[in-house]
Each structure stands twice: as C-alpha cells, then as structure tokens.
Amino acid sequence: MSEAKPETVSRCFAQTAARHPARAFLNVLAETAGIYGIEAGEISYGAMAERAEARRLEFARQGYGPGHRVGLLVENRPDFFVFWLALNGLGISVVPINPDLRARELCYLIGHSEQVLTIAIASRVADIEEAGVQARARLKVMTPDAAVPPALTPAGREPVTSDTEAALLYTSGTTGMPKGCVLTNTYFLTCAHWYETVGGHCALGPDGERMLTPLPLFHMNAMACSAMGMIRVGGCLTVLDRFHPRTWWESVRASKASVVHYLGVMPSMLMGAAPHGSDRAHAVRFGFGAGVDRSLHAPFEARFGFPLIEAWAMTETGNGAVVAASRDPRHVGTNCFGKPAPEVECRIELDNGEAAGDGEPGELLVRRAGDTPRHGFFDRYLKDEASTAEAWRGGWFHTGDIVRRNPDGTLVFVDRKKNVIRRSGENIAAVEVEGALKRHDLVRDAAVCATPDPVRGDEVFACIVAERDLAAEEREEAARALVHWCLKQLAYYKAPGYVAFLSALPLTATNKVQRGEMKTLVARLIAEGDFVDTRALKRRTGG
C-alpha cells in the first residue's frame, strides 16, 4: 500500500523518518559546533523525530495549538528543526527571527506577528523581553533548553490541514516596514515536491543525497527549499552558521556534500583565492542559487568542476512559481535563470500594460497554470489585504523584477523595479534606513540608495542634509556617529557603507526624493570621491 500524501510538514518528515530512521537528517560540522557551543556530528531522522515528538507533547500539555504563533530566534542550530516540527504537528505557526535584528525591528516584528511565545538563544532573551514590553505584547520567552511555559491564550480547535498556517516569514520591506508572508503547509510541501521532481542538472537521488547550505533558516531558501528537499528524498542537510570563505572547501569536503546552495557573493569570494590543486577535490554535482557575477560564472564552473544553477523565486512565490536553469541551454554568463516549467505561467509586462516581446525588458508576472493560480504561493500578507490585492491584481502576481525573454523561452534578469538595495543576499529597504537616519539630531533630511559593490552586489550609500554646516574635518566624525546610530537600531548590513553630506537632496515638486536622480548623484559622488567610507564599521555583532 502506498503512503498517503502528507498534508503537513511534520507528517512529511514523519513518513521519511519511518522509512529511514537510521539515515542522517542533520550534520553539524565541528566548526559550526564550536561557534554555537553545541555537539558536532550527525542527527538521524529517527532521533530528530523523537526529539520533536517529546517537545510536541510538552507544548500540547501547556495548551498550545492552532491559532498560536511562536517566534524562533535560534540561529541555524538543530533546535530550529526540533521546534518547527514539534509546533507544526500541533498546527502552530513559527515566526523565524533574523538574529541580527535589533530593538526597533524586534519590536515591530513581535507586535505585528502577535506571537505568544518566543524561543530565543540565551544571549538574546533580554532583547526579546524588552521588545515585547515596547510592543505591549502578551509574550513569554524561553531558551531552547527550558521547559515550555503555559500558553497565554487558548488555542483554536480547527483541524490541522494543508491549508493551516505553518510559518510567517517577513520580507525585507522594500517600500516600507517588512510584510509578514503567511505560508501554509502547502507552500512547504510544494517546495519539497519541486526539488524532488525538477530533474535535469538539479536532480536529487533517493539514496543518501547530502546538501550543504550557509544560508539562514529565517529565509525561504534554506527553510523551504533546502530543508524540504532533503526531507522529501531522505537526504542529509548540513547547515553552517554562515558562509566562511577561508574554510568553505573544508566544509564541503567534511560534509561530503553532493549539492551546495549559494548566494551570488559567494562565487566572487571563492574565485578571489589562488587556484589550488584541491579545487576539484569534492563530491559536489551542482550548486543552486542566484546572483552569480556573470563574468565569473563560466570561470567558476571550469575551475571547480560543477555547474552553478541560477534560479529565481521570492518568499511570496515559494516554489509555486520557481524558475531555474536546471536544463540546457543555461546561457552561462548572461544572467539567465532558465525557462519556466509547464506548471508556471509567466508574463513580461511593459509599463503600459502590454506584453513585452522577445528581448524587450518588462516586469515579470507569474502564476500557477491551471485552476489554482495561487497554488504553492504565500497565502497573504498578514494584516494587509490592500497589498495582497495589489500584488495579485489582474490575476497575476507582480514580482517587481525586470526581466527579458530570449527567443528560446529562457528568461534573463535585468534589474529590480522596487527601490531596494541587495547586499550579500539581504534585501534592504531604503526607506527603513532613511527613517533611522532622520531620527538623529544631526540630520535634517536623508536619502539612501544602492551603489555597486564588487563583492557584495550593492552597498548602502546615504546622502545627508545636516542641521548645520559641517566643516570638512567634521564630516568623517559625523559620518561615523550616524553609522553607529544606525547600528544600534538596525541589523548591521543595513547601516550605510558610504556617507555624503549635501546642501540639498534632489526632490520633486511635492518634496519627494527623485530616486532616479539619486542614482546619478551617487555615481558622481563616488567618481569624485566626495564621501566618507564607513564600510569598516559594518560588522556582525551579538548573538
């Protein structure tokens, strides 16, 4: 008798654990274990199932169930999976939290998500508690090894199904505060099915596939794509705390990875190292990611001996509308991210609403083919019906990305339509950084935009109109003060990497910043060297 189709993430995992209890599910490398202060080694499917079940029973006894949300600030530790599987089994939604978030960001996320409990590493408990107070939230906080406290509110009684909310992932907030994407069990199961069946260069085998990712579990790539893909085929996932260029290949070999996931910044850093005789001493069959420098794409593959499969997706689309260059022709070195599969419908739309022709850039619109155009996509933006409707206007999901179509049907990424800065894989909303800067007493007005960075893709450039004239010798100290101010309020990567002081910003007749003019202005300031370089101040701290 064949297995019933799983309706939840936890059930999908349980089926694999029943088939392969002794197989390794997670692999914690010695380097990661040392950084986190945890035990190194492999955790089998059976052992993870037992740990998750014990926690599930504990949460159930304390009154947790459908309708509750629980925050997870546990970094890339095995605890993430223990709690996600345990909570999912009760119909509880998890809210993964970026450990780099600081007070103001945490306050917003906790208040907006209405999470009733946050599970946080010990070093961040005080921050979460303070953010809860500031948000006036009814919130309890526990460390991963603590006993589960009683639920503050009663759980719902609705049955747990494929439509039940499984997670709430926050976007980076390209035009305002971050949006909470409500993701159902179907979202994650669609990701699992896609990776199991996509084939081509990305084919996963059923017998001991091993994947390595340095990406964070609070992003859909690692949480939905990597984890669910491995769970579906009974593979082993090695999750690093983050990308370490100097020890990357040691990690690849130690993990015995057959698949690696990457961000575009990673190949650039790896190609910067001198060639070595061990460059091909690995078992990797393919890399999966996005944003590789097109000039380095072919040289990387030639040097290290495996293809980098460029793909496109968003938190909102999940793998319901993923496009990946998993089959030839891949058009290496052109920003091509493949041809849409038959189950994905794409439209490239010009500003006038007409369809773009081949080679003509326009906004990418996507939906699922057939009777359920939103299958596998996010359910909605939490508490934001207007933005949900706007994103789906006309029956298509509007991505905000500009692409063009090749004559063979493959798609090429051109640019981002949204006002967003993408630094080392992190989307940064200019308006959020501007808001932080404007709260400083020194600042009368501020505007932020991206400037190209050869390693990180984009860097944050801030143009400041000060409350008083600053002498040339005062500007460096003032710039450093503004960056330190931002670092106290925002994740480190959002702080300005360059600061320039101007007498006025380019504004419209209604006093709005002219974003197009800003790009031209920043390019000139960079060329003339009329700025303060503050990149050295942007360092990961805490947690």
Q: Name the DSSP class of 301.
A: H
Q: Is residue 371 classed exposed, middle or buried when 0-12, 13-18 and 19+ CB atoms within 10 A define those classes?
A: exposed
Helix 45-61 / helix 79-88 crossing angle, nearest 10 deg:
60
Q: Quick one: tokens of 2?
A: 């064949």
CATH number of 13-334: 3.40.50.12780
- C-alpha 346/C-alpha 327 separation (Å) is 18
Mark 151-183 as b/e (b = at least 16 C-beta within 10 Å): beeebeeeebebebbbbbbbbbbbeebbbbbbb
Architecture of domain 421-537: 2-Layer Sandwich (3.30)
3-state secondary structure of 212: strand
Say yes or no: do domains 13-334 and 421-537 share a fold: no
CA distance 27 to 44: 9
Structure token pair of residue 179: 């949006």
- List, in sequence order, every residue forming a beta bridge with 210; answer none if it has no partner: 236
pTM (2 d.p.): 0.86
Q: Could you state, in order of their start, the residue ranges of all structural domains in the chain?
A: 13-334, 421-537
Q: For tokens 């005080």, what's the residue? A: 126
**Could you list the pLDDT tens digit for every one of the 543 residues in the chain?**
467 899 999 999 999 999 999 999 999 999 999 999 999 999 999 999 999 999 999 999 999 999 999 999 999 999 999 999 999 999 999 999 999 988 888 999 999 999 999 999 999 999 999 999 999 999 999 999 999 999 999 999 999 999 999 999 998 654 457 899 999 999 999 999 999 999 999 999 999 899 999 999 999 999 999 999 999 999 999 999 999 999 999 999 999 999 999 998 899 899 989 999 999 999 999 999 998 988 899 999 999 999 999 999 999 999 999 999 999 999 999 999 999 999 999 999 998 999 999 999 999 999 999 999 999 999 999 999 999 999 999 999 999 998 999 999 999 998 777 667 888 888 787 878 988 999 899 999 999 999 999 888 899 999 999 999 999 899 999 999 999 999 998 999 999 999 999 999 998 655 678 877 888 899 999 999 999 999 999 987 644
Question: Residue written as tokens 């209405």?
Answer: 114
- Residue 436: HSE in the Cβ half-sphere, 13 Å Cα cutoff: 27
